[in-house]
Structure 1
């Protein structure tokens, strides 16, 4: 009897290597590439909608499309995190990926000044679709890695940054360069469809299905008594308030400050290139200095860079701000998942605890501070203070 128990426990231990483990990392990276990577390219749409396609709507109203999209991606983790703990990983991936492609094709049918068409397809539908795959694609890594978990999760999250590097280039060239909005969005949807299909072929789970998994109410009760976990959740919410300010507005900010349009088109690519490098390096650094220390240090520096956005006025300033903010904020984003996993004592609760943490995180609201008069310093100060609060919360947590 004891031998069988020992064998079962051994079978549940992460393997740390092998084709299945690293194939799952690659597949999960593709999920992040097509999901959060595409969402992080919303700055292209913000610029295009504001100046060309939704001219009857204010920048703040247009920003709500991206904000609701992000909110639903993050809050969707409550459902998807719980379902992956109950063994529903594969249905989540299939349904979520199909819906992502479907809503992008629906978005391509939206007409000029069709605000609610775009809001419902891109903001609501596409957000729900990505929300079904976002947390599970990160949480499943815990089944394959323990010692190298931060590195593996960093690589997965970096897939989102790689997508955020390439999608703005593709979208700017498709939408602004010749095909137009409808055909450009359809072409990007077709690209995502192929990559998501490959991702589903690669990803595998290791833990058996748990149809009688621990109830959410019990997990919530246990979590509510975990001070460190609560601080981490609130810190994530503070981080999200400011994180998407540059992602949504850097290209528009550059354009409205009179910088070359060609350079402005690549400002998001510069930012997300820094983010990609930061996410990969953060996973490695955290194994030496610790996950909490990595998050706190990166938060403090990214907060300082957000304050520096007040002085944005030239190509050089945009480049420096984009690279530095991308690098350090990317480090924070890469380690938040491992941080929640680090604070979760039971592996079978990882999906649910991540889902709760991501759901508490808030959507960006900096557009309300920006207003239709483009008061950039107010939004930059709010974003900077938000990320500074994250660092303070983690220090005391």
Structure 2
């Protein structure tokens, strides 16, 4: 049974309490809003929402992460008159829209419109996949419109809401719950390529193979909509994006996190489109790791190792080395992806702004996903000159790691300042 909504008096006091507690965000164990906001931290509705969100991520970002299969098929068979860089724009625009549309869908969740947003987004995902199955060879713009733009907007309507809604049910276990949710996209990144490769390059062919995958996704999305539950009442007044943007731009830790995420996404989609990897284990376990070392420490460590593994791609020379690097990058990059939602949530003073703040952060991160694969594809060329693209992607990703370190430094300074103020108040 869900915990009752907080009283009016508690609701009025919550923002002030949250603002005070968030100063200690460098240590997640100190941030416990569940008592203040009456979060249930479990129950059928809560874990059902986690499972539903897991399925949303599996069918959404998980499908996009399998774009490498489409990249290979388009390059070798379906769009032979176009360069790898041009083809990569389809996947990168798709990924960019998934993240940037969160500005709209995240705000709508804050206003209590979760259910209509999810239904529309899920229906459009199936629709545009069926439209993709009707495209013809060398029909670049048909594929770009259906898969790149249409499918990207559709998934974008469900992506941020499926992550933000977890905050309605969890605080102490939020990192673990969000880790499970985003693990869905990684499991999708493992299973969808296997399925699509066998369907598209097998007996069914491109059209019927895409239709089969659309049917499977449609069934899973239907189940997800039955499981997901919102909990907090909608705000009587719409969230002011002007206010959220103003407050966000003044938050140094938040801005560092956003830029760091954009830089990380740059390298992540280069590796995902051209090498392929799955990060299911990394995304699933990182939530438990963060419970001990803290969310900021987890994202800093994961981004640092991920950047190093990107540079290691220079040494690719055999199938074994490809497998080792893909597995290593998949595991540690999964830690960064899994922590994107939780790290923004601990940097958000007001829980009613979580959807908006995650949407803004993901939109900024989408710039990296938009530019990463095409620019690296231009460095790669049709001759697949790996070292140029690897150095560029690795350098940008390292810059993202530096921004995460800066975020952690700001949080540490806030924590120290909070301790000093507490001591002075006691005196």
| TM norm structure 2 | 0.85
1:32, 1:159 within 8 Å by CA — same for their partners in 2?
yes
1:238: which partner in 2? 263
1:12, 1:207 within 8 Å by CA — same for their partners in 2?
no
Structure 1: 4+ residue segments shifted above 4 A:
6-12
Aligned counterparts, 1:115-154, within 5 A: 115-154=140-179
1:37, 1:164 within 8 Å by CA — same for their partners in 2?
yes
CA distance in 2, matches of 1:375, 1:78: 37
| Match 1:28 to one of 26, 29, 53 | 53
1:87, 1:211 within 8 Å by CA — same for their partners in 2?
no
Does 2:344 correspond to 1:340? yes
1:262: which partner in 2? none
1:82, 1:352 within 8 Å by CA — same for their partners in 2?
yes
Aligned counterparts, 1:1-397, within 5 A: 4-5=7-8, 12-250=37-275, 268=276, 271-272=277-278, 275-361=279-365, 362=367, 363=370, 364=372, 365-397=375-407
Give the deviation of 1:246 after TM superposition. Answer: 1.4
| TM norm structure 1 | 0.92
Give the deviation of 1:373 after TM superposition. Answer: 3.4
Q: Which runs of 5+ in 2 are unaligned?
A: 1-5, 15-34, 408-427
Q: Which runs of 5+ in 1 are unaligned?
A: 251-267
CA distance in 1, matches of 2:346, 2:98: 22
1:39, 1:69 within 8 Å by CA — same for their partners in 2?
yes
CA RMSD of aligned residues (A): 1.4
223 and 11 in structure 1: CA distance in 2 versus 1, 3 angstrom threshold: closer
CA distance in 2, matches of 1:59, 1:21: 43
1:241, 1:366 within 8 Å by CA — same for their partners in 2?
no
2:244, 2:357 within 8 Å by CA — same for their partners in 1?
yes
> CA deviation digits over 1:355-397, x for unaligned, max 9?
0000011222422322333222111111111221111111122
1:13, 1:143 within 8 Å by CA — same for their partners in 2?
no
Give the deviation of 1:49 after TM superposition. Answer: 0.5
2:168, 2:232 within 8 Å by CA — same for their partners in 1?
yes
Q: Give the secondary structure class of the aligned counterpart of 2:145.
A: helix
CA distance in 2, matches of 1:309, 1:387: 13
Report how many aligned residue pairs link the two structures: 374
> CA deviation digits over 1:79-124, x for unaligned, max 9?
1111111111111100000000000000000101111111110000
CA distance in 1, matches of 2:10, 2:146: 48
